[in-house]
Every structure is written in C-alpha cells, then in structure tokens.
Chain A
Amino acid sequence: MIELNAVTKRYGSLAAVDNVSFSVKAGEYFALLGPNGAGKTTIVKMLLDFTQPTAGSLSVNGLPSKHAASRTAVGYLAENYHIPPYLSGWQYLQRCAELLDMSRSEATDQCRRIVELIGMQGREHTKANTYSKGMIQRFGLGAALIGNPKLLILDEPTSGLDPIGIREIRQLLESLKKQGMTIFLNSHLLSEVEKICDNAAIINCGRLLVKDTISALVKDGDTLEDVFVRFVKG
C-alpha cells in the first residue's frame, strides 16, 4: 500500500529524511514514531506529493506518489488542522465530498454519517471560528473519512483532544481497522500507539532506527516509551 525506497529529503545541507526505506501493507495499522523534527511530517508530505524527495522513490496504492491518482481512496488529517473560519463544519465536509466528485445527495448522505461518527451532531452548522481545537480536529478526521478511503494518513490525530476525545478517536480508529482500512499514523502518544498499532517504525534525525511489530519491539515488561527512549537516545 505504501512503499518508500531509499528516500532522502534535503533542505540545503540539512537532511530532513536520510535514505529511509520501509513499506506498509494493506490492512496494517502502522505508526511512525520519532521526536520533534525527526522527519515524520516530511515523510507524510512526500507521500502526498506536498513536497518532492531529493532522492529515492515513494509509492502509494501501487502508483508513484507524484501521480494524483495515487491519492485516490486516501484520507489525510494534517497536524494543526485548519478549517476556513467562515465555513461551518457541515459546509467544509460537503466541500470535501464534492471535490471527490460526489453528487450533492451523495455528499449530504456521507456528511450526515460522518458527523454522527465524529460525534459532532448539533454543532455541524455553526461557523468554524466558534470551534475549539479538538472540534476542528474531529471535523478534520471526518473530512479524511469522506469517500470511504482505503488508506488513512493521520498526522497527530489526537492533537488538541481531551482524554475522552482521545479515547473516542482511538475506538473509532480501531473500528476502522476492523473494517480493513490501512492506517498510517504519526503520533507522540506512545501509550495510544502501543494499544492499537500492529507495526511501528522509529526515526530520529531523518534516519530509520527500527521497524518491527509492536509485540517484537516491546518485550519483558517494557513499555513502548522505554523502547522509544532507548532507540532515540542511542
């Protein structure tokens, strides 16, 4: 589903991503872990063709990431999500649905289902400038789910959510995984990752340190946090 082959991204002399290779299979729940500035978001941006790699190649859905068609059936939630302040959550979701070439009635049906799924009934018609960060994040996740994507790319999906919100999102992602969706997650919340992910990769300073299943990484009473600190601190 996702494949990175010797991907490097340089900004001048700085290597944000340095010769990284890994793959994510269909149906996998994969977490990309790393400290701030490790290169996680840069990898996500290259997967979506938001920025081009300096070297190496990336493919999504079997197509090079620079092809727009590779983003068919891909949902994306950005870190620090924004919604135009003059739009309501409903209007925003409707726009996202229309951009996927849905008819107005199809879009309305999808939006109704999504609003229920993200638990935003009753607030969907108020303007986005009245939403909290957590509410915007929920609508962002809703927008990513429009069109029933096969692959979800989530960059810090629980950012700005309270503990109850985090739990709800986790439950939602678990149910999506059961439906066979592939999930690529960038997160700092290691305890959440440990609970729900199958596989994880840890990167630091743009380099891939390890990629394995969560059960192989976390052994002998360790937590994922211990493993993460051990790898990152060397």
Chain B
Amino acid sequence: MKMPKALSPIIKIAKYTLTDEVRQRSFVVMFVMCVVFVFLIRGCYQGNYMVNGEALDAGTIVGAVSKMTFHFIAVVVMLIAALLSMRVFKRDRDEGMQSSILSKPITRRQYVVGKVLGLWVLSTFFMFILHAIIFLTVSVNLNVVMPGYLAASLLCSFNLLFVVVAVLLLSLLMPDIVAFLCVLGIGVISFVADGIFAISHSPMAQAMIQQPGSPSDWTGWRVVYYLWPKLSGTQHFASSFIGGSEGLHGFGSIYPLINILIYGLILGVLLFWRFRNEDII
C-alpha cells in the first residue's frame, strides 16, 4: 500500500531521528543501565514484608511495589526523553542534515513533525520495554497478571510527548542545557505541587488552614496549581489503571491528561511557528 505523499517524508525523518539516537553511545549506556536496574528491582517481589508485626499479603506487595516502580520508570524516562530532545536540532544543524532535508521538497512542518514523532516513539518504546520487564517479572514470579500496567505505560507516553515538544521548542530559544533544566523545573514543580496539594487535603492540614491567622485566600495558588502542566497528575491517572487502585472519579481524575494534551497542542503550535521563522544554516 502506498503511503500518502505528505506522510512519507514525516515517517522517514522520524525513522532517521530514531536510528540516529539509537546509534549514540550515550543512549545505549542509558538503556542498558535502566534495564539492569529494573532487573535488580525483581528482588523486591521476593521478600517478606511485615507491618506492625503482621505479614503483608502478596497482593498488597505487588500493588505497592509495582506502582512505585511504575512511577520511578516514568520519571526516569521523562528525564531521558528531555536529554534526547535537547540536542536534536543543534546536531541536525551541525551535521548538515537539516539543510540537506529542507533543500528537498519537504516543508518545515513535516520536518518538525518527523523529529517529534521519532523522539516520542523512541522514548515511549524505551518506557514500554522497562514497564514490560516489570509486568513480566510480576507475571512469572508471582503469577499475578496486571492487565492495566501496560495500558498505564502507554497513557504515560503523553507526558513524554509534552516533554519532547517542550524541550524542542525551548532549545530553539535558549541553550540546550537551559532548555533541559527549564523542563526539568516544570516537572519538579508539578510533582512537588501535587504532593503539597495531597498533604493540604489531610485533616490536620485542613484544621491548620482554618485556624485564625492563617492565610485565608488560596484562590490564586489554586488557579496556578490547576493550570500548571500536570505531569505528576497524568502519571497518577495512568497508574489508576494498575490493579489495586482507587479507580477513576469523574472529570477530576481525567483532567491532568486533558491538561497535558492541551499543553502539548499549544507548545506544538508554538514550535511550528518558531521553527518557521528559524534561519537554516
């Protein structure tokens, strides 16, 4: 079957981006380290855990450890996606590939979409493999199948899309490392804010907030909290697909995903616009 004409260069650019990244020694080292680390986590499933003198059942252990590793892998791969994305445009420019591609009847939009697609597919695949190792470890060692685990991994790929687009956009506006640090900052704030938000809903925090003398108007902070890119929220939403979680609770639980998709869209439009005005060297 013949591919649509506009799609063909996008797929090829994505393929070249992917293979060029995989060729980098640093990528291979990162990948091997992550796989080894995930294999080491295997031991966590084999121990006996006691809380208040009582042994925990296998289901609780599987649920807790799997969720922890799920979040850990998702965060690490987000960092790796940012690292992979930050030098892509610069490397293409320095190695002459950018001018070589754009001197052909290929639009800048196709070029950018190809780059984003290549990086997104690569980082999603990276994360999926690590999550799949955990999934298989649990299935084989404990005979527990978590059908939602891999689905949750795929849902987390929207976070990776956000990270890739954000880093690519910022790398056009500032030095690569600063672009990486900015997106890292956005991620850290997202996780910290979600943590504070969760704590603030505890009965003790609620009591403190209602005490006389405590700041009464939290509206401004709430608006910032809800509008901030919900990387942590999306991850928690995805992890709700893993067995043993509380499940979904209406719009509130799906909001982080919508937030990240909207941010991805806005940043994507800005990326096209910025790259359109970029001088090709």
Contacts and interface: CB of A to CB of B under 8 A. Distances in A.
Interface of A: 45, 48-52, 68-72, 74, 76, 78, 81-86, 95-96, 98-101, 143
A76 B104 CA distance: 8
B97 A71 contact: no
B105 interface: yes
Interface stretch (B4-12, B243-251, B255-263): B4-12
A68 B107 contact: yes
Contact of A81 (B13, B96, B106): B96
B20 A84 contact: yes
15 contacts: A49-B102, A50-B279, A68-B105, A68-B106, A69-B105, A70-B105, A76-B99, A78-B99, A78-B103, A85-B95, A86-B20, A95-B12, A95-B16, A100-B104, A101-B8
Contact of B104 (A45, A81, A99): A99
Given A68-B107, A95-B16, 18 more contacts: A45-B279, A48-B103, A52-B277, A68-B105, A68-B106, A71-B103, A71-B104, A72-B105, A76-B103, A78-B96, A78-B99, A83-B95, A84-B20, A84-B96, A85-B95, A96-B104, A100-B105, A143-B100
Contacts of A74: 103
Interface of B: 5, 8-9, 12-13, 16, 20, 23, 94-97, 99-107, 110, 277, 279-281
Contacts of B100: 96, 143
Contacts of A52: 277
Contacts of A81: 96
Contacts of B8: 101
Nearest to A98: B12
Contacts of A49: 102
A92 B281 CA distance: 19
Contacts of B95: 82-85
Nearest to A83: B96
Q: 4 tightest A-B contacts by CB?
A: A82-B96, A50-B280, A76-B103, A84-B95
Nearest to B92: A84
Contacts of A85: 95
Nearest to B98: A50
Contacts of B279: 45, 50-51
A193 B107 CA distance: 33
A78 B107 CA distance: 19
A71 B105 contact: yes
A152 to B, nearest CB: 11
B101 to A, nearest CB: 6
Of B23, B97, B105, B280, most A-chain CB atoms within 10 Å: B105
Contacts of A69: 105
Contacts of A143: 100
Contact of B102 (A48, A72, A95, A100): A48
A82 B9 CA distance: 21
A72 B9 CA distance: 14
Contact of A50 (B13, B16, B102): B102
A51 to B, nearest CB: 5
B16 A45 contact: no
Given A45-B280, A68-B107, A76-B103, A99 B97 contact: no
A86 B26 CA distance: 14
Contacts of B104: 71, 96, 99-100
A99 B12 contact: yes
Nearest to B104: A99
